[in-house]
Amino acid sequence: MDGAPTIRAATAADAAALARIYNYYITDTVVTFEESPVSTEDMAARLAETATLNLPWLVAQKSAAVQGYAYASRWKGRCAYRHSVEVTVYVDHEAVGQGLGTQLYTGLFAELGRGPCHVAIGGITLPNEASVALHEKFGMHKVAHFSEVGHKFGRWLDVGYWQLVLPATVAA
């Protein structure tokens, strides 16, 4: 393998790679509750929405290929939630286990620490030991567990939520 990935801001030019990475999780896993693959245009629209909210969306690029991404999105639509965000990370399924999730979250939490965000929230389909470990590595703690709230691939699925009050010192 060549060196460490570059962590940088996502651009509209990354939309096809982001859709490719995400679509694996849609079609082959229960990690996301979306059931239909997203198009490049769908992903570009999501990037644009994040940009209008002045929230970060980062990619990990290695050997000229995007291998993962992390972003913050609005937690809820009500005004009083404006300082809370939901954080999300996805790594190309062929690049899992290389530390990209940690590197992406390190960059994402650094960006969030510079802005007006007060709370970061991560939702995880359970069980998912790797995702739980990643979120807890950054000081997030479990605050909720919803039983059988999703149904995908003929299974009822639980979701847990992890939270971090910002700014906080986070371990990388």
Q: What is the mean predicted confidence (pLDDT) over 107-128?
A: 94
> 34 or 113, which is more confident?
34
Q: What pLDDT score was predicted for residue 169?
A: 47
Evaluate if residue 170 carries a pLDDT over 80.
no
Q: What is the mean predicted confidence (pLDDT) over 45-54?
A: 95
Query: Could you tell me what percent of the chain has a pLDDT over 70?
Result: 96
Q: Say how far apart CA 67 and CA 3 lie, in whole Å.
A: 13
pTM of the prediction? 0.93
Return the CATH fold of 6-165. Answer: Aminopeptidase (3.40.630)
The domain spans of the chain are: 6-165
CB-based burial, 70-93: b 16+ in 10 Å, e otherwise: bbbeebeeeeeeeebbbbbbbbbe
**pLDDT band, very low/low/confident/very high, at 172 (cuts 50, 70, 90):** very low
